[in-house]
Amino acid sequence: MARCKLIAFSLLVLVMLSLSAAAQSDPISKPDIQPYGDYPSPDGQAKAQTTQNPAYQAPDKNNPKEVELDDVTFNEIGGLRADPRAKPGHPGSAEDLHDARVAVAEVAERVLQSSHPEREQAPHRLTNETVRDLNAGNRDVIRALNDSLSAARSGSNTTQGAMHFRTGRHKFNSLYGHKATMFFGPFPDATGGKRYLTIAP
């Protein structure tokens, strides 16, 4: 009887250990950086692609608002990646990440259109590192930029007029004293760690 109990207990612990190991975050592999030679200025955006990579969809240069919104959205959450283990439509999935970008684009646009557009957000231009990654054909960055543009163009109101967002290692109960209304993630960050997005009115 004691032997049976020991076996049963051991099996239970084995199962729990396996589940625990599976639940750990796998380290994110380093971006697939390729050799590069030319560095356009962030203002000039980037052009280079390879045939194996998704095509980069540049924002409409004649539409500064779109460029600005695209870049702010990417800069705010472009480093986040969909969790490959998340079920479609569930927190952390590619769909959830797209919805998060849409939410950020919506709030960012409201801030830019508000009477206080100077309220600090991420910069309205891509950083040198992003441009370098783009020129190097980094697929994750190209996908994130394309998705940011799609979010910027969505013109939706999924956040129902929300004016605040924040990314962090955990969810926030409130922002600016307003109870949070939407949460996204957790998403793996390109350099490691997990990030959530919180939205509040």
Binding residues for other proteins, rule: CB under 8 A, are: 3, 6-7, 10-11, 13-14, 17-18, 20-21, 24-25, 27, 30-31, 33, 36, 39, 41, 75-76, 79, 120-123, 127-130, 132-133, 136, 165-169, 189, 191-195
Min separation Cβ 31 and other proteins, Å:
5
Q: Which is nearer to other proteins, 99 or 189 (CB)?
A: 189
Q: Which is nearer to other proteins, 25 or 114 (CB)?
A: 25
Task: Please list the residues that pair with 168 across neighbouring strands.
Answer: 196
3-state secondary structure of 186: strand
Give the residue carrying structure tokens 């612990």: 13
Min separation Cβ 196 and other proteins, Å:
10
Q: Which is nearer to other proteins, 15 or 63 (CB)?
A: 15
Min separation Cβ 62 and other proteins, Å:
25
Residue 169 contacts residue 193 (beta carbons within 8 Å): yes
Phi, psi (deg, nearest 5) at residue 123: -60, 160
Min separation Cβ 30 and other proteins, Å:
4
Task: Please list the residues that pair with 116 across neighbouring strands.
Answer: none
The string of DSSP codes covering 61-114 is TT-HHHHHHHHHHHHHHTTB---TTSPTTSTTSHHHHHHHHHHHHHHHHHHHHS
Min separation Cβ 4 and other proteins, Å:
10
Q: Which is nearer to other proteins, 18 or 156 (CB)?
A: 18
| Separation between Cα atoms, residue 157 and residue 107, nearest integer Å | 9
Min separation Cβ 200 and other proteins, Å:
12
Residue 32 contacts residue 139 (beta carbons within 8 Å): yes
Task: Please list the residues that pair with 199 across neighbouring strands.
Answer: 165, 182
Q: Which is nearer to other proteins, 88 or 192 (CB)?
A: 192
Residue 48 contacts residue 39 (beta carbons within 8 Å): no
Q: Which is nearer to other proteins, 30 or 55 (CB)?
A: 30
